[in-house]
């Protein structure tokens, strides 16, 4: 089977961090015989500059065909005043929606070498390894009606939270399946105390559990309390499953627990394609960081670890994914640090490319 990849570097630091991923991809081709058929295209502001839209139809079509899409980041101040419909973020949202990537996997893992970066105490976060499964194609991000309307002589902004049973069912299954390969625990978060969509969410998650995953430990929590518990004692969680908006918030909270947003990857998965692989898009959790773009300062690790997730979830190369993750861990343990990972001034941080060099060297050493 061929392995096809579409690379969309996007805006800001996206192209710089993706350049390091490209070197890693080549390494797996050269040293591990894992060949990828790679194409590259534009997304976000970069696509807008050329096509007048943040994602061209041809790019969308290509994304539907490939085994995996790797995305850098989108957005930047240059595009802040664009019409809502062509903002860079709309390119990303179109990919998620049209590829039907309903399960967004956001691991929050605390690397031992970085435990002191967290704003929380070391023993609260050291060894932390949780996985947030965020529903990604429905809920208030996409529900209708939406818009800004005129009502009684003033404007009213409307968005709609909406979930069908089947939408809840499928993301719950993704969470239970993942839990079985990890700590076997799922905590589902909603606000069933105030929202009907939350009542339905809780009911369906419980039903899927009782019918098909009774071996997995399931608990439910209101999402606000969940946010609090994430800060109080995050190690109580293994897999958290939640809706699109709560997942957006809670995954940022969880990311910050690890102290290093520049480290966290994500996978967005949909239904299996004809070749059995899921529709998939991989991207770092961090944004386009326009303030440091083009300076070779950005940390490429989140994007590199996103490629590790692609190896695991799209290409069934779990061992090679682990090899790459261990190479990253080794480099951190050796003290290699990009600027975002430096606590004291005075020492010179590694550049984006130097971090890439160090990870490639650690990969070589793993053979």
Q: For ligand IPM, what does the binding mask look like between residues 248 and 267, x meaning CB under 6 A?
A: x-------------------
Which of left, alpha, beta for 296 (phi over 0: left; psi -120 to 50: alpha)? Answer: left
Angle at the Cα of 147 (from 141 to 148), degrees rounded to 5?
135
CB of 119 to ligand IPM, least distance (A): 20
Q: Is 107 annotated as contributing to ligand binding? A: no
Query: How many residues in the shown chain lie near Mg ion by CB under 5 A?
Result: 1
- Output 89 or 329, the one with its CB closest to ligand IPM: 89
Q: Is 15 annotated as contributing to ligand binding? A: no
Strand order in the sheet with 129-135: 37-40, 4-10, 68-73, 278-284, 265-272, 103-109, 129-135, 239-242, 185-190, 217-222
Question: Is 279 a known active-site residue?
Answer: no
Q: Is 299 annotated as contributing to ligand binding? A: yes
Question: Is 213 a known active-site residue?
Answer: no
Could you say which of 248, 279, 330, 340 is catalytic?
Answer: 248
Q: Which stretch, 88-96, 202-210, 227-235, 256-264, contacts ligand IPM (CB under 6 A)?
A: 88-96
Q: Is 36 annotated as contributing to ligand binding? A: no
Could you say which of 100, 129, 212, 252 is catalytic?
Answer: 252
CB of 239 to ligand IPM, least distance (A): 18
In this structure, the strands spanning 129-135 and 143-151 are unpaired
CB of 248 to ligand IPM, least distance (A): 5
- Output 56 or 264, the one with its CB closest to ligand IPM: 264
Question: Is 364 a known active-site residue?
Answer: no
CB of 291 to Mg ion, least distance (A): 18
243 lies in the site for Mg ion, by CB under 5 A: no
Question: Is 121 a known active-site residue?
Answer: no
248 lies in the site for Mg ion, by CB under 5 A: yes
Q: Is 96 annotated as contributing to ligand binding? A: yes
- Give residue number: closest CB to ligand IPM: 89
199 binds, among Mg ion, ligand IPM, none (CB under 5 to 8 A by kind): none
Question: Is 248 a known active-site residue?
Answer: yes
User: Cα torsion for 251, 64, 69, 59, to the nearest 10°?
Assistant: -110
CB of 263 to ligand IPM, least distance (A): 15
Q: Is 121 annotated as contributing to ligand binding? A: no
218 binds, among ligand IPM, Mg ion, none (CB under 5 to 8 A by kind): none
Q: Is 83 annotated as contributing to ligand binding? A: yes
The 3-state secondary structure of the chain reads CCCEEEEEEECCCHHHHHHHHHHHHHHHHHHHCCCCEEEECCCCHHHHHHHCCCCCHHHHHHHHHCCEEEEEECCCHHHCCCCHHHCHHHHHHHHHHHCCCCEEEEEEECCHHHHHHCCCCHHHHCCCEEEEEEECCCHHHCEEEEEEEEECCEEEEEEECCCCHHHHHHHHHHHHHHHHCCCCEEEEEECCCCCHHHHHHHHHHHHHHHHHCCCCEEEEEEHHHHHHHHHHCHHHCCEEEECHHHHHHHHHHHHHHCCCHHHCEEEEEEEECCCCCEEEEEEECCCCCHHHCCCCCCCCHHHHHHHHHHHHHCCCCHHHHHHHHHHHHHHHHCCCCEHHHCCCCCCCCECHHHHHHHHHHHHHHCC
CB of 194 to ligand IPM, least distance (A): 22
Q: Is 168 annotated as contributing to ligand binding? A: no
Q: For ligand IPM, what does the binding mask look like between residues 208 and 247, x meaning CB under 6 A?
A: ----------------------------------------
Could you say which of 11, 48, 141, 340 is catalytic?
Answer: 141
Could you say which of 11, 48, 191, 238 is catalytic?
Answer: 191
Query: How many residues in the shown chain lie near ligand IPM by CB under 6 A?
Result: 4
Contacting residue, 32, 51, 53, 89, with ligand IPM by CB under 6 A: 89
**Cβ atoms 267, 306 nearer than 8 A:** yes
Q: Which residue positions form the known binding site for NAD(+)?
A: 76-89, 287-299
Kindly list the catalytic residues.
141, 191, 224, 248, 252
By CB under 6 A, name the binding residues for ligand IPM.
Answer: 89, 92-93, 248
């Amino acid at each position: 089977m061929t392995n096809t990849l579409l690379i969309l570097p996007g805006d800001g630091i996206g192209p710089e961090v993706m350049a390091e991923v490209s070197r890693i991809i080549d390494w797996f081709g050269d040293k591990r015989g894992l060949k990828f058929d790679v194409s590259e295209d534009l997304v976000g502001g970069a696509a807008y500059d050329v096509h007048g839209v943040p994602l061209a139809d041809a790019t969308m079509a290509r994304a539907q065909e490939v085994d995996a899409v790797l995305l850098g980041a989108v957005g930047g101040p240059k595009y802040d005043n664009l019409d809502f419909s062509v903002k860079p973020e709309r390119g990303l949202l179109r990919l998620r929606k049209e590829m039907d990537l309903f399960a967004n996997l956001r691991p929050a893992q605390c690397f031992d070498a970085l435990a002191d970066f967290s704003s929380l105490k070391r023993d609260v976060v050291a060894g932390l390894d949780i996985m947030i499964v965020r529903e990604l194609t429905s809920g208030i991000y996409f529900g209708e009606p939406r818009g800004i309307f005129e009502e009684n002589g003033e404007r009213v902004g409307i968005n709609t939270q909406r979930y069908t049973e089947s939408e809840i069912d499928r993301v719950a299954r993704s969470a239970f399946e993942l839990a079985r390969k990890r700590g076997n625990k799922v905590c589902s978060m909603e606000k069933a105390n105030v929202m009907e969509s939350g009542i339905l969410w809780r009911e369906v998650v419980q039903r899927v559990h009782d019918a098909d995953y009774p071996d997995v430990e399931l608990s439910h929590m209101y999402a606000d309390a969940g946010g609090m518990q994430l800060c109080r004692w995050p190690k109580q969680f293994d897999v958290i499953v939640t809706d699109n908006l709560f997942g957006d918030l809670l995954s940022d909270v969880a990311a910050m627990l690890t102290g290093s947003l520049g480290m966290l990857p994500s996978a967005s998965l949909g239904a299996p394609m004809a070749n059995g692989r899921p529709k998939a898009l991989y991207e770092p959790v961090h944004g386009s960081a326009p303030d440091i773009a083009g300076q070779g300062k950005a940390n490429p690790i989140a994007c590199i670890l996103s490629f590790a997730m692609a190896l695991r979830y799209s290409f069934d190369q779990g061992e090679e994914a682990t090899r790459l993750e261990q190479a990253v861990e080794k480099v951190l343990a050796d003290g290699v640090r990009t600027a975002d990972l430096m606590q004291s001034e005075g020492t010179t941080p590694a550049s984006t490319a130097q971090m890439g060099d160090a990870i490639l060297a650690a990969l070589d050493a793993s053979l």
